[in-house]
């Protein structure tokens, strides 16, 4: 739990989209107020700062050595990787903020690079590769053992273009679906082996010795076809679709001791490989042999009160305010370590200056 004696002043920094409907804006305001209320209940001084694309005016009045920024920027309108840019700007301004650094955020957006990173660190991930053109889909570069395969845009989240048609079974279907993604989403496609089985989300937080939060599983029991057991765009965003509300979350999944150890070990290795800090989520698919495969690394997961990460915190015994305050305490510790290092280096510099100064010789 956060240290009750240290309640730093916090700026909740979030961005808005000009395309939001009035209802979406109202929902965003309510979510922000829930965070404000949770932190104030614990004794934090809290202010909010919102922006569209330019973060500097929003934070200008807050002194970096006095305020911690809770970074709630999940993306910038019409800008892929915009959250990484915002963090880079906060770094340049000298602010300490919660969550991951620009490098990790930018890396996670590019699914092709994510897969290469996982392979480099020998972390289990489904076989596959990125395609920039449909013509690049050839037998020379594609392993037939990767069928059935699922095709996704390389830099989109929230299950963009992920439908039941995204799972393919032949070279012709693969080439056709890659072309569809490139033509409709206007970016390259990632094709990878579809792992039929369970899907488990792992929330992790902490620095130095990060800790795995209670596991959460997507309940596919209502979806009979194993090749349809995946979280699609419709299941998340289309209320009148057959997939809407058909995949609830299992908050206490039944897993064997062996599987739990495998999942937690792989998730922690992934967290470290991507140099994550404060908090992140790792999504895994589990095959029939209980072999986990990492399919997504999210260093900027949904942190709303009814989101998956918060749900894992509740299962670990935290209230919403306590969970947010705990993340803030991680940023505070990081700032304190940086300040301590600066003080040590400054003292060493002063010693060197004194030792290098000429000694006065009596006349």
Report pLDDT for 240. 86
Residues of the chain with CATH 3.30.1490: 127-194
Q: Which residues contact 100 (CB under 8 A, 6 or more apart)?
A: 87, 276, 277, 278, 280, 299, 300
pTM over 0.85: yes
CA distance 115 to 111: 6
Report pLDDT for 358. 67
CA distance 272 to 225: 35
- Kind of pairing between the strands at 128-131 and 167-168: unpaired
- The token pair at 148 is 């059935």
- Kind of pairing between the strands at 198-205 and 279-286: antiparallel
Report pLDDT for 157. 81
CA distance 19 to 81: 18
| 3-class DSSP assignment, residue 150 | strand
Report pLDDT for 354. 72
CATH number of 127-194: 3.30.1490
Report pLDDT for 356. 77
Q: Mean pLDDT per segment of 10 residues, for the chain of length 363 residues? A: 65 96 95 97 96 96 96 93 96 97 95 94 97 96 97 90 95 97 96 98 97 98 95 89 90 96 98 98 97 97 95 98 97 86 68 71 59
Report pLDDT for 260. 97
Residues of the chain with CATH 3.40.50: 10-99+318-342
Q: Which fold has domain 10-99+318-342?
A: Rossmann fold (3.40.50)
């Amino acid at each position: 739990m956060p240290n009750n004696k240290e309640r730093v002043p916090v700026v909740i920094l979030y961005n808005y989209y000009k395309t939001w409907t009035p209802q979406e804006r109202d929902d965003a305001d309510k979510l922000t107020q829930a965070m404000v209320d949770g932190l104030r209940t614990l004794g934090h001084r809290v202010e909010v700062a919102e922006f569209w694309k330019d973060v500097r005016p929003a934070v200008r009045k807050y002194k970096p050595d006095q305020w911690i920024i809770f970074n709630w920027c999940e993306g910038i309108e019409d800008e892929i990787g915009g959250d990484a840019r915002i963090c880079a700007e906060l770094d340049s301004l000298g602010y300490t903020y919660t969550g991951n650094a620009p490098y990790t955020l930018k890396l996670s957006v590019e699914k092709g690079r994510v897969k290469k990173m996982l392979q480099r660190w020998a972390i289990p991930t489904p076989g596959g590769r990125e395609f920039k053109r449909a013509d690049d889909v050839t037998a020379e570069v594609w392993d037939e053992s990767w069928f059935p395969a699922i095709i996704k845009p390389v830099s989109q989240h929230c299950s963009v273009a992920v439908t039941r048609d995204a799972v393919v079974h032949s070279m012709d279907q693969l080439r056709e679906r890659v072309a569809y993604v490139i033509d409709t989403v206007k970016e390259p496609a990632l094709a990878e082996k579809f792992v039929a089985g369970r899907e488990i989300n792992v929330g992790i937080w902490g620095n130095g010795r990060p800790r795995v939060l209670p596991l959460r599983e997507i309940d596919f029991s209502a979806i009979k076809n194993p090749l349809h057991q995946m979280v699609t765009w419709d299941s998340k965003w289309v209320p009148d679709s057959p997939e809407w509300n058909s995949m609830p979350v299992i908050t206490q999944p039944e897993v064997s001791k062996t599987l739990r150890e495998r999942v937690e070990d792989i998730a922690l290795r992934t967290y470290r490989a991507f140099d994550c800090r404060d908090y992140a989520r790792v999504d895994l698919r589990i095959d029939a042999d209980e072999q986990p495969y990492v399919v997504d690394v999210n260093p900027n997961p949904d942190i709303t009160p009814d989101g998956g990460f918060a749900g894992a915190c509740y299962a670990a015994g935290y209230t919403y305010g306590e969970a947010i305050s705990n993340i803030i305490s991680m940023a505070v510790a990081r700032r304190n370590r940086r300040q301590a290092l600066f003080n040590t280096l400054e003292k060493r510099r002063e010693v060197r200056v004194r030792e290098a100064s000429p000694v006065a010789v009596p006349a």
